[in-house]
Structure formats: C-alpha cells, structure tokens
Structure 1
Amino acid sequence: MASNTNPIVIPLAGGLNVAVSDQMMPPGECTELLNYEITTTGRYQRMQGYERFDGQDSPAEVAVIDLPGFPFDTIEETIAAVRAAQEARRALITAVPGSGPVLGVFMFAGIKYAFRNTVDGTGAKLYRATAIGWVEVVTPALSPGGRYQVIETNFSGAADEQEIIGVDGRNPAFRFDGTTFTQITGPITPDQPTYCEALASNKLLLSYRGGSLVYSQVGDPAGWDGALGAGEIAVGQEIVGIEAQADDATAIHCRNRTYMLYGRSEVDFQLKEISRNSGAIPWSIQNMGQSLYLDDRGLTRLDRVQSFGNFESSTLSQKIQPILTSRLQSVAASCLVRTKNQYRLFFTDSTGITMTMYGGEVMGFSEFRLGFVPSCLFSGEDTAGRELVFAGGVDGFVYQLDKGNNQDGAAYTSRFQTSFMSMGRPEDKKRWRKLVIECDSVTRVFGQFRCFYDYADPNIPMADIIVGSGSKWDLSDWDDATWDGSSTSWTDQYIDGVSRNIAIQMASESDYYPPHIVSQLFLHASPRGRRR
C-alpha cells in the first residue's frame, strides 16, 4: 500500500438525512437507513423482528437444547431444526376471531386483549389472549368499526383497584377491571366519545365530535352532575387527542389548533390557546414527558411549540421532512419504546419512521418496513416490568414487535448507504485503497457491501464485497453464546477506485441471526490531485 495513504475514521452516527445535499452532511449520516435503529449511544443496530401473537407459545422462544435430536451434527442442521420448531408454533397462532382489522389492542395486569368486528360485521367483540389462543370476554353489545384508545387509571385511590377506561368513537366509554366490562353513560348524545384521559385529580376527560370536552365528578368516571363538579368545555374544532402533561396541565390537540387546559378541577380550570395554526395528525400523538406528534410542518414537541410558535424551528424532523411531507395522509399509528428512548410512527404502506432521543436531543431517524399493515398499537409494561409492544394488523392478527430475529418467519433486509463523502476536500481526487468495517455481533453477520464513486458515476466500476464477522456459532459452544454481550470484529476489504467522493452501502438479510451493530468505517485513501 502506498506510503502516503491516510486512514480516515468515519463514525456511523447521525441517522437518516434526506433534506440536504451530500456535501453538507457529516460523514456517517445516511441517505438510506432501512430496518436499522439508532441506539442511545448513536450507533446503527439492525432492528429486531416481530411475530404473530395470541397467547400460545412464542416461536422466538424455541430452545434448541429442548429439540429432539440435539445436539445436531452441523450448524446447518441446528438452524433447520430451530426453524421447523418455530414454524410449527407459528402455524398454531391464529388471528383474532372475526372480520376486518384489529380495532384495538391493550394489556392489563399482564394479560393481552384485542377488539375486532364480528364475522358478519354487525358488532364488535373483545378477546383475551390465553395459552390456548383467543378467548371471548363477555361485554355488552358493541357497535362495529370503532378505533379503541385506552388508559390505565385508578379512581378509588386503592393500590389494588386499577382499571382500564376506553373509548372507540362508536360506543359509550367503558371501564374494565379484568373481569367486569361495563359501559359509562356519558352526558352527550350520540354517546360516542373519541378520546379519553384521566387527571391526577381523579376526573375523567372525554372528547366528543364537534369539539366538545367533558369532565366528570372527582373520583367518579360515571358521574356527570354539574352541581357536583362535572362540566363541559367547547374548543370549536374536532379534537384528535388528549394528553396529560406535568404540573396539572392537559394538552388538547385539534387538527389545526392546540390548547392547554390548566388546573385540577372546575375551580381552577383555564383553557389557553397554545397554537392557532398548528395541530396534530390523529394517532401520531405520544407523551415523552411532553406531547410529541406529527403536524403539517413535521414532528413537533409541545414545549417547542410553546417556545417557538408556529414556525419550522419548532419541529424536530428537518432531516426527514421530505419523507414525512409525502406521508402526512397515510399515518396509521404510533407508539413509544421507552427502553430504547424511541418514538415510532407507522404508515398505511407498511413503512415507518423511528426517532431515537437521548435526554431532550434527537440522536437521529431511521426507516423500517413491515410485512403487514398496522391498524393500532400498544406499548406498556407487564407485571415483571418488561416493556412489550403489540400491533394490531389490518389482516386481523396481533403481532408482538421487537420479538425474534425474523418478520413472522420471513427474512428481512437491513440496509444503509452513507452520503457521498469527500473528507473535506470536495474538489480533490483520491485513490480509495481499503475499507475497514467495524461490526459488533454475538453471531455471524453476512453482509454485502458496495462502494459508489463520484455520485455513482457509471464510468467508475463499483466494488462488491461479501463479509462475514462476529463470533462463531459452533455446536461445542452453542450454550455459551453470549446473546446480550458483544464481539467486535473488523473486516479489511481492499478496494480500488479514483474519485472525489465515495459512498458506502451495506445490506444484510437474515431470518435467523440476532441483530448486529455497525459502529464505524475506516477508509484508506491517498491524494491524487485537483479535479481539472
């Protein structure tokens, strides 16, 4: 290798950026970042898969040592046996009984529940996930076609009296304690509340079509007597979400306007307009200490609207704004993944956006692609404190996200492409000699790498590289594989190209191996003079 070769370190950080030119992007940001997520330390990690769910044994939890014939003679036989056992479990898991999309999914006391229309479409039913699959829960007759939103709360103050309050826009609100499902008769006709929230003062808030917000008596979510403290507030626009904030404040989100309701009760309630021209797109609202939601200008956090007003500076998503602008009308659902400091936004074309934050700062964005269209989302903790994320599908199945290493049995591709990097000398040619990729993995990683030169000039040949890295999975140390540890590997790949800039693309596809992390690149290059 030439003596004037200089190694250049490129930390892979910053995430997806499709809003500026390549030469304005820091090296390591990507013009494509698919099915990777950004860790809280800023690195790029392949996203986990998902699997269908109904309470029966999980395909992802097949243990190889429990399979007949273990130990197997080869790694290939081991993998084939695990896949066959996973498929056998998967075939037993059924969709929620009924027709149409899943209307809502939630978890209470560690048990998972789902709503779906009946087979003939004339009603809706609630089901509980059990060890034998979905089992119907007795409810009053429910009208079909709603979209359920639930909160877990406690109006009695007793530690053992938690309950679910829910609405769906087609039926009266309901309360459910895991055994008894009863409807709450509201104060407005038709009695079809759309969103709900509970205040710290033990008042229930319900929104109704037409811009009406009602609040119950203290401690009684079914009490609507004005003489006892219940009442109504009109906001003049359709409400698309209600989110309690800190310090006795509640955000009232409309499509093109935002209000804040201050106070604990009718004694000190004050409704203030926060933004006259900025609102939220339905089902994009989540609470990360402050309400976070998608507006026409992009992903917005409520405190930034309060600070900056109705301007682009109040948004968090300038780097991916072209993507969001093209999908404003196709938002399907959203959720938080608190253990990863992530906000995820799902679209009706099976794609989505992940935003990772650390403290109040955005670490970056990435895209993902699913094999199903989500109709509703729920994330929460089970009785052991583990965070679980479930998606109801348009196909009637419930899926557990961040589970397993495939997409309901199918392989999926993770891919990134860096910007075209000139290393601070955009007009100088370089001879690219070696690419070193750092990858953390507890197993093998098979990847394909390509180098693009001078904005993919067709006159400059590309380099295709096949790479394997990570610790070995041999039969002898299968039980000793450290799934939650890391093994850092470097791969040296010799390349040959002369150009002003270079972009690196990596693709990895698997239905078996767990996620890996790509941390940084090392490019060895030598100068070749100024472009003429």
Structure 2
Amino acid sequence: MARSAVESPLGGGLDLVTPPFRRDPGRAIAGLNYEPRPEGYRRLEGYERTDGRPLPSTRTYWMLDHDTPLTPFAVGETVTGDTSGASAPILAVPDDPDGSGDPGAPRRLVIAAPDGTFAAGETLRAGGVARATALGPAVRDGATGFLDTAYRTLAEEHQRALIRPVPGSGPVRGVHMLDGVLYALRDNAAGSEKHLWRATADGWHRVATGRQLDFTAGTADVAVGATLTGATSGAGGTLTAVTARSGTATGGDLAGSFLFEGVGGAFQPGEALQADGGPVAVAAGADAAVTLPAGGTCRFAGGIVSGFGPRLYWVDGVGPARSFDGRVVETLTGPIAPDTPGHIAVHKDHLFLSYGASVVNSNLGDPYRFEGRISATETGFEEPVTNLLTGFQDTLIITGLNRIAAYYGTVFGGVEADSELRVINKSVGALPDTLATVIQPVFMDAAGLRSLAAVQNYGNFEPATLSKAFKPWLDARTRAGARPVHTLVVREKGQARIFWSDGQGLIVDFTGTWPAAMPMLYDRPFTAFASVEDAGGRERLFAGGDDGMVYTLDSGNSFDGAPLPYTLRLAFNHLGAPARVKRFHKAEIEMTAPGGATLRMTADVDYGRPGGASIPAQDFTVYGGGGFWDEVNWNEFYYSSVEGRAEAHIEGLGANITVGLAGRTTRQPPHTLHGVTYVVSPRGQRR
C-alpha cells in the first residue's frame, strides 16, 4: 500500500491523566532532563563547580612544539620558558604528535592556558631542569577530531581540579550575589560557627566579620573611619560601621553598635567612649567578635532601603538577621526573643522578618530600627510563616501551610500607617521556600502546584491547581517520602525549577497558555539556591551542595564532568485514526543541534502490549517503567546538522505508536526536538 507521512509537533510537557486516545501526541508520558519549551523539548544544560576562578567549560588547551627532549616531559609537570618566563601545566605528552612515526620529528606538549607567551628558540625547563628547545609559541586549539575532544576534556578536568569547595564542614548553608560578586556561607571545620566567603579570581576568601561593641547614651553621630577609644581601658579601634537601633544623638539616648575590623586592647562595660577627643557614648558591654552561629537555612533578601545603598540581608533561623554591604557584616537586632527570624524581605522601604507566626517590620527607611512608636509594627499571622514574597501587585505576600495573605500599603506602622493585611485564603497555603514569581506567583502545597492568581480569583481548590496533567508524578514523589525544598526561578526562560529533597525535580515552563512540566534529575542533592543578576545584568543560577561545593547551573554540558543523561517518551499517537491499524516504517525527528547530538531511539505500538492495555503506573516515575527503557533494542544515531531531520527505521504494526529517545553526554551542547514525522502505510480497521 502507498506510504504517507504524518507530522506531529512536539511540546506541552508531561500529560499523565488524559485518556491515551485523546492525548495530544506532542506531549510526553515520561522523560528526564528535557525542558518543555514553546518550540519543543530542549535538553537541559549542565552544571559545574565555581569559586570565582574561570569555569571548567571556558578552558581549552594549547600545543607547544619542541625539539627532541634531553629528558622526557611528564604529565603534571610545569613547563617554563627560560627567556619569556611563560609557564603552563602539562596536560599530555603525545607519543607521535604528527602521526608520521618519525622519532626525529618535532615533539609536542599539550598544555593548559599558558601564563605568558613562549618564544621560539628558548630553553624549556621542567622541575628546574633544561629539557628541550621551543620551536615556536604555543598554539591554541590546534588538534582536530577525537584528539581535539580529548585535549579539551583534559583542559576542563585540569581546571575543575583547581576549583575548591567553600572551606569548612557540612553543606553550603547559603549562596547569593551582591554587586556582581558571589558569596557563600558554610559552617567552619569545627562546626561551631558559620563563615562568610567571597569568590575571587584565586578561589574562596573569607570575609572578616570583625568585632562589635554595643553602646548606649550616644550623644554624637560618629563617622565611619573615626578612631574610638575607651576612656578607662585605653582600648581603641577604627570604626568600619555604626549601627544605630534606637534614640537620637541630640536626645542623648542613641543606642546601637560600633563595629571594628580589629581592636587594640579590650573595652570595658560602662566606660565612656571617645572619638575626636570628646565623649560620644557609653559602652554597654565588652567588645566581642561578630560570629554567625552554625547551622540553619540561609534565606536572602536583596534590595535597597533608602539611604543605605545596595546590601545583602539574610536570616538563618538560628541567629539574628544580618546585613552585608560588601565590606562589613552588621547585626540587625530584632524585637522578638529568641532573635532567630526565619524569613526576610525588603518591601516598600521596610525590612520584614518572620518569627514563627509573627511578622515584624522595621522603621520606614531604616532596616536597623524596630521602633513601634515610629513606623515599626508586629503582625500576627495565626500560623508559622513559610514564605515572604515581595513585588506581586505591589504587595507583600505572606504564607503559612494553610493560609495566604497579602500586605497592602506603603507605611506599615506608626501614626502614618496606611497598611492592610488581607487574607486571600484560609485553607490553602505554601510549603516552605516554594513560593516564587514566574510571571505570577506560584507555589507548592500538599495538593500540587498552584497559582496565587488562581487562588485569589476563584478562592476554591480545583481552579487554583496548575499540576493536574502531571499530578501522578507529584504523587509518586510523595509516596517516595520526598518533599519540595525550593523553587528556583529562571526568568530568562519563564521557568520555575522545583527541587525535591531526594534530588529529583520538575521544570515548569510558563511561557505558553498553560504550564508545561518535565522531570529533571541532577546527580546530587543541593542545599542552597540563588537566581541572581551579575554585574552585567545577566541572570545567573547557583546551587550549593552537601559536599560544600558551589555550582553554576545551566553551564557546561555535563554534571560537573559526569555524564548528563536525558530521556523522552512521547505520548502514544494514533495519527488521527485510533481504530485503524497501520504499518509504521520510519520516524523522522525534526531537531536543532548546534553541536551535534547522539540519541538512541526505540518505538512501541498498541500501548506496549496486546489488547491496548494502559501504561503501567511505574511509567510515571522519572526513568519511565516496565521494559520500555531497558529491554528493547535501541536504534542509535548521531545527528550532526545544525537544523534538519534525523531518521530511524522502525517496523511495527498497530493502531498507535510511541517513540522513546535517550542519551548521555559530557560534551554535546543542548539540542531541541521540534517534531516527529511518521512514515506509515494504512491497514484495515481494528476488529
């Protein structure tokens, strides 16, 4: 019979609930590490470690030719030019670099990026010993084919080995960026306190937190840079910051803290404090080191409160809130004891903190003062707060596990207060750290993924749910004992990535008319997350690991050097004729693959078994189920065109067909699957 071609565009993400004969054939019924996009399914990018040094994926190799060496070079040595002073680590010493087999031919070193430029004719040394003479400067990326790939891998692995974890012990507690600089928090080696670290061109550098001296009875505003001395003790130090928490200098009741990088001597409680030769305050106690208690989950709020400039604010649930301006860590003493706020937000020129079921805000325009007589206030929420989110419809969103409210207004305390707390829903709430704005606020609760706009508009259960199509996948996570731990926003792609406690996750795309979701699985669980903008305004995604490493997400083509797996199983497709039997001959995949793509393809017909049985429940897990992925014969092909079609021959007889695609890579960039064309010949009606 005559053959025909039937095209099916791909997209829409998981659909595990629509009856098979009504399901859009472009949807997926299983998959892993493919992003649902309007143009199809795009393979997820990788991740790689970072500490401020160049990322491994940015490194390449150089080739340095030389004459016959007096003593052979060895991998791991550093070669140095006598005249130029250039140097570089040796990555490989090829036996026959030009393939001639001539032992007298020029020899070659494969090196990492050199520090300096090697010169022709200069002596090359390693270990201080003259080895050979350079025949010319090093050449970048000079190999082809397999050798080019192998040498690039060596260069990346060399760079990867240079990048180190955040010093200390335990997981990364927090990661964020301020003014384009990356910072991380981790417990020290003894597990007795946390340290703040800055990523630099030569790795992590600890941020000194200095010393703090609380004061009362302040009578003068002391400037940063002034020298403060104790009238009795003679102790002294140069001020790096002054934190005022209450009172005024003119009233003689200013109270707060002086901060120093270091102190000579020891201040005494109750002694007069002097600056510029005159008294300025009274010491409320002895000076002490500023320490960050160990443990906790760091939650951050970036933003500007009038007059204070860009700062990073954070809480950790085990100590008071902190602020950091890139130089000095200051303590924000809250109004509730114990002073261990759990959530934080900068909103309408106020700083907001949550303490259990209470939310407090600072004075207007001052994140360090919580004075109720001015413009600070405490608001009861009736249940423990799980999220604070600013920016949606000019409000501050507050959630508990079973409650959602929105704070309206611009002044939230004092005689000029104009604020109002409106309860949106008293039965729906959000799990901790899952509320985020992707076009509109979305969050996870026990029922699945929800939209805040839907809750606000409809006020009941079902219309607010966005996860109906992939609810079986969520239920499988619940049965496995996993819980959502964070929603990471990818603004450039209109995505939310929801991470679970067992390392699995869900990519949810919001750029279409309805959310599209696909499973993801990194090869390690993450403990801290950040979606930020760097100094150039480019979105950057970071995650901290339980191994103490900080990783850049959506970077590179591997899982920090390990293979990145990807799978996709499409919905069964009856090609518009659910009762007609067809002979399936070929499947053509329309795709874009700028760097090539290696895929394995398989197909199954009639729902995978005689009688048209439905897909087993285990197919809802990340890896698919049954024998589909493990027991069939795969047809492997390599696709090297930037745009076009890749085809695989399949032979099957049935009323419908599903195609499975899979692969693993450490080097290939993401590819996008746009559509499938099936070449078929019709048979008779199913009886």
Is TM more than 0.5 here?
Answer: yes
Residue 505 of structure 2 corresponds to which residue in structure 1? 352
Deviation of 1:291 after TM superposition, in Å, equals: 2.2
SS of equivalent to 2:424: strand
Percent identity, aligned pairs only?
33
Distance 1:191 1:226 in 2: 17
Residue 365 of structure 1 corresponds to which residue in structure 2? 517
SS of equivalent to 1:383: coil
Residue 507 of structure 1 corresponds to which residue in structure 2? 662
Of stretches 64-73 and 143-152 in structure 1, the one that deviates more from structure 2 is 64-73
Render the CA deviation track for 1:98-121: whole Å, top value 9, x for unaligned. Answer: 111111000001110111111121
Distance 1:108 1:520 in 2: 42
Equivalent residue runs for 1:308-347 within 5 Å: 308-327=458-477, 329-347=482-500
Residue 104 of structure 1 corresponds to which residue in structure 2? 174
Render the CA deviation track for 1:352-392: whole Å, top value 9, x for unaligned. Answer: 10011117x33511111111111111011101111110001
SS of equivalent to 1:362: coil
Q: 1:397 aligns with which of 549, 565, 582?
A: 549
Residue 118 of structure 1 corresponds to which residue in structure 2? 188
Distance 1:458 1:53 in 2: 52
- For 1:456, the aligned partner's letter is G
Deviation of 1:494 after TM superposition, in Å, equals: 2.9
**Higher RCO (CA-CA < 8 Å; seq separation 6+):** 1
- For 1:262, the aligned partner's letter is Y
Residue 246 to residue 498, structure 1, CA distance change in 2 (3 Å):
closer
Residue 306 of structure 2 corresponds to which residue in structure 1? 156
- For 2:50, the aligned partner's letter is F
Q: 1:430 aligns with which of 557, 571, 582?
A: 582
Q: 1:522 aligns with which of 677, 682, 686?
A: 677
Residue 450 to residue 247, structure 1, CA distance change in 2 (3 Å):
closer
Distance 1:459 1:52 in 2: 50
- For 2:206, the aligned partner's letter is E
Deviation of 1:264 after TM superposition, in Å, equals: 1.3
Mind listing any 5+ residue stretches in structure 2 that lack a counterpart?
A: 64-109, 112-138, 210-289, 613-630
Q: 1:14 aligns with which of 2, 12, 15?
A: 12
**Alpha carbons 1:435, 1:494 under 8 Å: kept:** yes
SS of equivalent to 1:376: strand
Distance 1:245 1:339 in 2: 18
Residue 475 of structure 1 corresponds to which residue in structure 2? none
Deviation of 1:496 after TM superposition, in Å, equals: 1.7
Deviation of 1:25 after TM superposition, in Å, equals: 1.2
Residue 269 of structure 1 corresponds to which residue in structure 2? 419
- For 1:330, the aligned partner's letter is R
Q: 1:31 aligns with which of 29, 32, 49?
A: 29
Residue 88 of structure 1 corresponds to which residue in structure 2? 158
**Alpha carbons 1:453, 1:462 under 8 Å: kept:** no
**Alpha carbons 2:444, 2:484 under 8 Å: kept:** no
Residue 396 of structure 2 corresponds to which residue in structure 1? 250
Deviation of 1:184 after TM superposition, in Å, equals: 0.6
Q: 1:203 aligns with which of 350, 357, 360?
A: 350
Deviation of 1:206 after TM superposition, in Å, equals: 0.7
**Alpha carbons 1:432, 1:523 under 8 Å: kept:** yes
SS of equivalent to 1:321: helix
Deviation of 1:248 after TM superposition, in Å, equals: 3.5
Residue 443 of structure 1 corresponds to which residue in structure 2? 595
Give runs of ≥4 in structure 1 deviating > 6 Å.
Answer: 458-463
Q: 1:221 aligns with which of 367, 385, 405?
A: 367
Residue 71 to residue 59, structure 1, CA distance change in 2 (3 Å):
closer
Q: 2:380 aligns with which of 212, 234, 238?
A: 234
Residue 358 to residue 411, structure 1, CA distance change in 2 (3 Å):
same
**Alpha carbons 1:433, 1:497 under 8 Å: kept:** yes
Deviation of 1:464 after TM superposition, in Å, equals: 3.4
Please report the TM-score for the alignment, with normalisation by the length of structure 2.
0.72
Distance 1:531 1:248 in 2: 59
Distance 1:281 1:512 in 2: 37
Residue 328 of structure 2 corresponds to which residue in structure 1? 180
Residue 50 of structure 1 corresponds to which residue in structure 2? 47
Deviation of 1:20 after TM superposition, in Å, equals: 2.9
Distance 1:185 1:167 in 2: 11
- For 1:274, the aligned partner's letter is I
SS of equivalent to 1:339: helix
Distance 1:50 1:104 in 2: 18
Residue 115 of structure 2 corresponds to which residue in structure 1? none
Deviation of 1:157 after TM superposition, in Å, equals: 4.6
Deviation of 1:315 after TM superposition, in Å, equals: 1.4
Residue 484 of structure 1 corresponds to which residue in structure 2? none
- For 1:38, the aligned partner's letter is P
Distance 1:246 1:444 in 2: 41
SS of equivalent to 2:291: strand
Render the CA deviation track for 1:4-51: whole Å, top value 9, x for unaligned. Answer: x22111101111122333223101101112111122x33111111000
**Alpha carbons 1:101, 1:395 under 8 Å: kept:** yes
**Alpha carbons 2:172, 2:545 under 8 Å: kept:** yes
Please report the TM-score for the alignment, with normalisation by the length of structure 1.
0.92
Mind listing any 5+ residue stretches in structure 1 that lack a counterpart?
A: 472-486
Deviation of 1:317 after TM superposition, in Å, equals: 1.3
Of stretches 420-429 and 375-384 in structure 1, the one that deviates more from structure 2 is 420-429
Residue 479 of structure 1 corresponds to which residue in structure 2? none
Aligned length: 509
1:281 equivalent to 2:402? Answer: no
Distance 2:643 2:61 in 1: 25
